[in-house]
């Protein structure tokens, strides 16, 4: 079992700081790293659409002197012939030194990690987590806010399905962030993340109107309504276009606010806002290359073995989350961590009462 990046929670703060510090150094002097991954191969396995994540991983590896293989459309791979995740990962990890994988099923990164013979990076597992976007966001905050401590962060849009938001919250709780959760009732943050914030003593409030919150924020993190996670087009239509950041709303914001967005933008930020010097989402996408360069170096330097993360229970129940990979790939062992009366699925973090 290799050291993987499934969830940044498994990274201690000193390790996180080490990766961020190197990303900052790469940003200052990229040439010094031009041969850091020479002779290494990164496989990018993208079972879901991507522009930035996939291309920034590829760019990162190429700029470090390494090479890449992979697919961006599983229909062009043996997945189209019915190959399961276990077999694909087992084989590809023999070809590559590192794997970055994105998959629409929640918990798929944890599942892939069980079979990967090389370190594996979660590049997005359904609506669950997206840890390398969080590394990107943290580098951006360091560059444009000068640090991570004590920021008031507004998260606006699809907080239910937005994996970037879920990962960001889990990590920023360590740095004393205050959150304002701006969403409709239908797209509020999952309860497990509110519990997480409460348990880590992190303060948050929920509100509906962006204009009511924008004036108090250091960072506004806009997100797209995640159309592909809705059960019906009607439900999506009901939720879209509720939020649009425009010049009018920007007038209420502080002069030192920064606006972030993991991108792609659909209609939640007016194009004219791009000209506002507080809009930093394109710079953020560039920070993603430095963050991923640093992560690739770190993972190749520190490829130590770890014990199996599986916790099989006797009489294990099934995970109640229909989007969890264990309900789609039947060979996967169910695995739960027990917390009092509650069982937490090790793949997707769904909770159930024992
Ligand atoms: C995000 C994602 O894929 O979760 N995009 C990205 O990686 N930069 C956000 C989104 O798709 O809305």
- The CA–CA distances, whole Å, from 75 to 38, 45, 183, 339 equal 30, 12, 35, 40
pLDDT digits (tens, 9 = 90+) for 224-283: 999 999 999 999 999 999 999 999 999 999 999 999 999 999 999 999 999 999 999 999
Q: How far is CA 141 from CA 6, 9, 117, 152, 198, in A?
A: 22, 19, 34, 12, 23
Please state, for a pLDDT cut of 70, what percent of the chain lies above it: 99
* pLDDT of 1 strictly over 70: no
Between the CA of 315 and the centroid of ligand 1 the distance, in Å, is 37
Q: Which residues contact 84 (CB under 8 A, 6 or more apart)?
A: 329, 331
pLDDT digits (tens, 9 = 90+) for 179-219: 999 999 999 999 999 999 999 999 999 999 999 999 999 99
Smallest Cα–Cα separation from 5: which of 287, 222, 204, 294? 294
pTM > 0.95 = yes
Tokens of 229: 């996670």
| Euclidean distance between CA atoms 67 and 65, whole angstroms | 7
Of 72-76, 121-125, 179-183, the least confident? 72-76
Q: Whose CA is nearest to atom 12 of ligand 1?
A: 224
Tokens 């849009």 -> residue: 157
Among left, alpha and beta (phi > 0; psi -120 to 50; other), residue 243 is beta
What is the predicted pLDDT for the residue at 312? 75
pLDDT at 211: 97
Among candidates 114, 110, 96, which has minimal Cα distance to 45?
Answer: 96
Taking residues 123-142, what's their average pLDDT? Answer: 98
Task: Please answer whether residues 282 and 290 qualify as being in contact, where contact means their C-beta atoms are separated by less than 8 angstroms.
Answer: no
The answer to whether residues 39 and 67 touch, using CB atoms and an 8 Å cutoff, is: no
Per residue in 98-110, pLDDT (tens digit) is 999 999 999 999 9
Q: In this predicted structure, what is the pLDDT of residue 53?
A: 96
Q: Can you list the alpha helix ranges (DSSP code H) found in the chain?
A: 13-28, 52-63, 85-95, 108-115, 131-145, 163-172, 191-199, 210-213, 233-239, 247-250, 281-301
Distance 263 CA to ligand 1 centre (A): 6
In the reported structure, the alpha carbon of residue 214 is separated from the centroid of ligand 1 by a whole-number distance in angstroms of 23
The per-residue pLDDT for 166 is 98
pLDDT digits (tens, 9 = 90+) for 51-70: 999 999 999 999 999 999 99
Centroid of ligand 1 to alpha carbon of 353 (angstroms)? 31
Quote the pLDDT of residue 308. Answer: 80
Rg (C-alpha) for the chain, rounded Å, is 20
Nearest-atom number in ligand 1 for the CA of 136 is 8
21-30, 95-104, 164-173, 308-317: range with lowest mean pLDDT: 308-317
Closest residue CA from atom 7 of ligand 1: 53
Model pLDDT for residues 338-352, shown as the tens digit of each residue: 999 999 999 999 999
With H, G, I as helix, E, B as strand and everything else as coil, classify residue 354. coil
Burial 281-317 (b: 16+ CB within 10 A, else e): beebbbbbbbbbbbbbbbbbeeeeeeeebeeeeeeee
pLDDT of residue 77: 86
**How confident is the model at residue 65, as a pLDDT?**
98
Let me know: does 213 contact 181? Beta carbons within 8 Å: no
Identify the CA nearest to 66 among candidates 26, 97, 31: 97
CB 296 within 8 A of CB 19: no
Residue with the nearest Cα to atom 1 of ligand 1?
A: 262
Nearest C-alpha to atom 6 of ligand 1 is from which residue? 262
At 313 the pLDDT is 76
Residue whose entry in the numeric block shows the structure tokens 């987590």: 129
Please tell me if the CB atom of residue 321 comes closer than 6 angstroms to any atom of ligand 1: no
Mean pLDDT of the residues in the chain? 96
Q: Is 83 helix (H, G, I), strand (E, B) or coil?
A: coil
């Amino acid at each position: 079992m290799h050291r993987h990046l499934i969830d940044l929670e498994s990274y201690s703060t000193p390790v996180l700081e080490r990766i961020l510090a190197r990303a900052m150094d790469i940003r200052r002097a990229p040439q010094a790293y031009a041969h850091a991954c020479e002779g290494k191969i990164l496989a990018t396995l993208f079972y879901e659409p991507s522009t930035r994540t996939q291309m920034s991983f590829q760019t990162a590896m190429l700029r470090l002197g390494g090479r890449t293989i992979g697919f961006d459309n599983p229909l062009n791979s043996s997945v189209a012939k019915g190959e399961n995740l276990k077999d694909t990962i087992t084989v590809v990890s023999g070809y590559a030194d590192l794997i970055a994988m994105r998959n629409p099923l929640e918990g798929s990164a944890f599942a892939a990690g069980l079979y990967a013979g090389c370190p594996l990076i979660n590049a997005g597992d359904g609506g669950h987590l997206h840890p390398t976007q969080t590394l990107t966001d943290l580098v951006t905050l360091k560059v444009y806010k000068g640090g991570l401590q004590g920021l008031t962060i507004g998260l606006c849009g699809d907080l239910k399905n937005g994996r970037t938001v879920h990962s960001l919250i889990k990590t920023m709780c360590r740095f004393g962030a205050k959150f304002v959760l701006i969403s409709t009732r239908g797209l509020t943050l999952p309860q497990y993340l509110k519990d997480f914030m409460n348990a880590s003593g992190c303060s948050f409030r929920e509100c509906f109107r962006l204009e009511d919150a924008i004036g108090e924020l250091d960072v506004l993190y806009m997100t797209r309504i995640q159309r592909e996670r809705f059960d019906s087009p009607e439900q999506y239509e009901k939720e879209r276009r509720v939020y649009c950041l425009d010049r009018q709303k920007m007038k209420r914001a502080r002069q030192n606010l920064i606006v972030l967005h993991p991108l792609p933008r659909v209609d939640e930020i007016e194009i004219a806002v791009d000209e506002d010097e507080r809009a930093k989402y394109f710079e953020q996408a560039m920070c993603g290359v430095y963050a991923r360069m640093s992560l690739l170096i770190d993972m190749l330097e520190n490829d130590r073995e770890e014990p199996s993360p599986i916790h099989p229970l006797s009489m294990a129940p099934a995970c109640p989350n229909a989007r969890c990979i264990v309900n789609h790939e039947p060979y996967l062992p169910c695995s739960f961590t027990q917390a009092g009366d509650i069982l937490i699925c090790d793949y997707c973090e769904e909770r159930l009462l024992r």
